[in-house]
Amino acid sequence: MMKSHPEGLSDEHITHVFSETQKLREPRTWELIRASHKQQSAEAMVSPLLELVVKYYMPIMNIDQKLAGWAKSIEGANRLEMLDVPKRFRFIPFLDELPSKPLESTAALKLVVAVVFGLLFRVAQLALQINPEGWTGSFIGHPLKETYTGIPTIDSTLSLLVWCFSNGVSGDEPSQRLQCLYFMVMLLPIALIWTIEGYRNGNYGSLVSLPVVFGAFYQLFGIAKVAPIYYLISIYTSSNILYTRTTGRPIHSSVAKALLPALLIGFVLPTALMFLPYDDPSTHQIFVALWQPFPLYVAMLTATISALIRYLSPTEALDTEMFDRKDLAPLSAAYAFAFCTTAATHLCTLVYLASSSTLSVASAFFNLQPPGLPVTHPGKSVFAFFKWDMVLCFAAVFVWCLYSVFELRRVGYITTKQAVVAAVVTAVAQVVVGPGAAYVGLWAWREGVIAGLVQTGKE
């Protein structure tokens, strides 16, 4: 204004400047006041509930949770456009440094996405049914093994699961064996990403911080039922400012380094052993049963290997270590492995189907009975179960991918153009590289986007 009025500013001009400044700063001022009131209420322990929170919950909170209110007020600070911002290191960018202006959170979209996940869960309830008339009580014509651990409840569950997998791993139907192998490999990105999300700084103490629980349930009831519930919960947890902020992205470097060996030993090895041919049916059944608790293997191995890494090479706590971004390189390696494995499996499957005169994409993965209707042939009900399980699972994954892209745009981490391109690429990738590779590819890109917002202070 001074440049446009070299003769000097009038009283009206000065009044206008201060009025506009007040309008600009008033929303943030009220945020500071509200945060101050909350802080005072907590410190004074004005209610029995707050007293419990302050005495017993706050001591176990991480530093981001404790300072969330104040950080939210600071990141919205205004700047004078005529002055350059000093190049200093900061992990959380100011809002005016983001690629685009953040959007207001919309409850309507969350409700729509939640309804979609609810519908997918309902379809899964109707579709994931096995006709008891198809029960043969055998493993491809051989006696079904009934003892694995000596614990009757666990042994009966494992026997049922081994029977369900029998035709998929060793049956005479090529399409069923192909679908089973493809589906099992496509679970690799889910095992990886759900484990990463469980260790995210922004998910500390949330429901998704225990992926082994969801893993146990989807092994017993079908991932098509569990994935919508997992993502439904994630709508809430990912809306938390602690998750959306750049400090919510990191995981401890020891965990990041443990992911790949944990996946190789806990998932890839049991999966390979399950699909290898064996002369002894009893041995084959043991390896099929051994595969079932793979979510537990991955969780235990990740925790054990990361603890061993910290013991052999002591590191700082995540609250301090995150500033060095030591987790990015091992995370990239894990993402790359999962992407290459699932993409190669998808492409090899397409080539195999294209060269076959008897198999097709439809016969192997689709040709689905309407949900709720009994399968015409009782013996095919398990195959139908696996088909629906995979289709509904990755339908939920696809919806979550699109929602995650929108969330990046909502918080201002990407531009609208980037969001549209990412959504289109994710949709096309379902066919080109497969749903598993599309999921892990998007998540690797998302990791880089958030990490790239950290201001290093360098030119």
Q: Which residues contact 396 (CB under 8 A, 6 or more apart)?
A: 117, 120, 224, 227, 228, 231
pLDDT beyond 60 at 266: yes
- Hey, what are 69's tokens? 């209110």
- Hey, what are 283's tokens? 């041995």
Q: Does residue 247 contact residue 64 with C-beta atoms inside 8 Å? A: yes
Place of tokens 């294209």: 354
23 or 209: whose pLDDT is higher? 209
Q: Is 9 left (phi over 0), alpha (psi -120 to 50) or beta?
A: beta
- pLDDT digits over 148-180, tens only? 888 999 999 999 999 989 888 988 889 999 999
The per-residue pLDDT for 378 is 56
Q: In sequence order, what are the beta bridge partners of 424?
A: none
Average pLDDT, the chain: 88
pTM: 0.88
Q: In sequence order, what are the beta bridge partners of 138?
A: 143
CA distance 252 to 317: 8
The per-residue pLDDT for 187 is 96
- Hey, what are 250's tokens? 């990191």
Phi, psi of 455 (to 5 degrees): -85, 110
Q: CA distances (Å), 248 to each of 73, 203, 205, 442, 448, in order?
A: 17, 7, 12, 18, 13
Q: Does residue 5 contact residue 13 with C-beta atoms inside 8 Å? A: yes
Q: Quickly state the pLDDT bin for 375 (edges 50, 70, 90).
A: low
Q: CA distances (Å), 87 to each of 367, 455, 457, in order?
A: 59, 8, 5
- pLDDT digits over 93-130, tens only? 877 888 899 888 788 999 999 999 999 999 999 998 88
CA distance 334 to 264: 10
The per-residue pLDDT for 381 is 82
Q: Nearest 10 degrees: CA dihedral of 423, 426, 429, 434? A: -150
Buried b (16+ CB within 10 A) or exposed e, 135-166: beeebbeeebbeebeeeeeebebbbebbbbbb
Buried b (16+ CB within 10 A) or exposed e, 76-107: eeeeeeeeeeeeeeebbbeeeebbbeeeeeee
The per-residue pLDDT for 105 is 78
The per-residue pLDDT for 415 is 95
Query: What percent of the chain is modeled with pLDDT above 90?
Result: 52
The per-residue pLDDT for 49 is 84
